[in-house]
Amino acid sequence: MANAPDVSRLRGSIVPLVTPFTEEDEIDQVALRRLIDWQLASGSHGISVTGTTGEPSALSLGERETMIRLAVEATAGRAPVLAGTGTNNLKETLHLTRVAERAGADAALVIVPYYNRPSQEGLLAYFTAVADSTSLPVVVYNIPGRSAVNLLPETLSRIRAACPNVVGVKEAYTDLQQVSDILLTLGRDFLVFSGIEALCFPMLALGGAGHVSATANVLPHEVAQLYNLTQAGRWEEARDLHYRLLPLNEALFLETNPSPVKCVLGWMGKIHPALRLPLVPPQPAVQTRLAAALRDWAIHAPAQAAAQA
């Protein structure tokens, strides 16, 4: 059993990076390095790769290994790296977690196994097996909308009791009562990150440690500032920023993440906005709504999308 690790840097806006592809459908390593440099220069507090926004189910194991190694190398200790190592296959999850540990990642982000629909006892056994296999801090990723199973606070408490290196949870569940129950049951030092864009501010108000928001791909400074303002006690300014971000948060999820995010990053000239099937670029009507939501942020869409907005 691993000892409780130091997670003092694991706070704030940890951006869940997209996986950039070249026109030849390979990982665009140059674009990835540029994204990481831009994110850190813009104030993001951490980097995460091969989570939901990184299209992990469309990547081979080898590609996920490459993304983790590149992220650690490009970040170069300037911020913590939260490596997405979870799958719905225990052996693959253990393998990727070992890769992350060897590469020098700061923590592993491990999703509730999707498609399998395990029981709470199954989740306890699964996360215990993963945590016991590594000395890395482990952040559990609860996203019932994709996994079809909600990891209950009492189960998370049992996991934490068995595994001191399970240090937090990325909560992508809409029930704020569950967030309060987690912090009440596991203690205020347990790291709760918002995985839902519209709930980043409310979770900070409840005592959350930060957020892993896809919107940070597009507006890294502003999403990081949301956290910074709350830490400085400037709650009214943070509330105003929360409401200003809401229209873009909504627009970026009009189709399945990360399709709209990659579309916008393409407009910004940050990446070639390629996706892998079955994901496809946003439909024209969605692009029009994206263009409208971006006006407030001085991000310019192509003429056709902007003209229709």
Interatomic CA distance for residues 125 and 230, integer angstroms: 36
Contacts of 109 (CB under 8 A, 6+ apart): 48, 51, 82, 83, 84, 85, 86, 139, 141, 170, 212
Tell me the average pLDDT across 24-35.
98
Q: pTM (2 decimals)?
A: 0.95
pLDDT at 309 over 60: no
Q: To the nearest whole percent, how much of the chain has pLDDT over 70?
A: 96
pLDDT at 307 over 60: no
Interatomic CA distance for residues 233 and 109, integer angstroms: 29
Tell me the average pLDDT across 162-171.
98
Kindly report, residue by residue over 80-97, the tens digit of the pLDDT: 999 999 999 999 999 999
Catalytic residue among 91, 115, 141, 243: 141
| Tokens found for residue 120 | 């709470």
Kindly report, residue by residue over 222-242, the tens digit of the pLDDT: 999 999 999 999 999 999 999
Interatomic CA distance for residues 87 and 126, integer angstroms: 11
Predicted pLDDT at 4: 60
Tell me the average pLDDT across 29-53.
98
Predicted pLDDT at 306: 57
Residue 91 a catalytic site member? no
Cα angle vertex 124, ends 89, 190, to 5°?
110
Kindly report, residue by residue over 182-218, the tens digit of the pLDDT: 999 999 999 999 999 999 999 999 999 999 999 999 9
pLDDT at 299 over 90: yes
Catalytic residue among 170, 227, 262, 270: 170
Kindly report, residue by residue over 108-138, the tens digit of the pLDDT: 999 999 999 999 999 999 999 999 999 999 9
Residue 170 a catalytic site member? yes
Predicted pLDDT at 38: 98
Kindly report, residue by residue over 257-274, the tens digit of the pLDDT: 999 999 999 999 999 999
Residue 118 Ramachandran class (φ > 0 left, ψ -120 to 50 alpha, else beta)? beta
pLDDT at 76 over 90: yes
Confidence of residue 8 (pLDDT cuts 50, 70, 90): confident
Distances (CA, A) of 277 to 20, 139, 149, 308: 14, 28, 25, 27
Domains of the chain: residue spans and CATH: 12-245 (3.20.20.70)
Residue 140 near residue 153 (C-beta atoms within 8 A): no
Predicted pLDDT at 75: 98
Three-state helix/strand/coil letters over the chain: CCCCCCCCCCCEEEEECCCCECCCCCECHHHHHHHHHHHHHCCCCEEEECCHHHCHHHCCHHHHHHHHHHHHHHHCCCCCEEEECCCCCHHHHHHHHHHHHHHCCCEEEEECCCCCCCCHHHHHHHHHHHHHCCCCCEEEEECHHHHCCCCCHHHHHHHHHHCCCEEEEEECCCCHHHHHHHHHHHCCCCEEEECCHHHHHHHHHHCCCEECCHHHHCCHHHHHHHHHHHHCCCHHHHHHHHHHHHHHHHHCCCCCCCHHHHHHHHHCCCCCCCCCCCCCCCCHHHHHHHHHHHHHHCCCCCHHHHHHC
Predicted pLDDT at 190: 97
Predicted pLDDT at 146: 92
Q: To the nearest whole percent, how much of the chain has pLDDT over 90?
A: 94
| pLDDT, the chain, mean | 96
CA atoms within 13 A on the CB side of 216: 36
pLDDT at 1 over 80: no
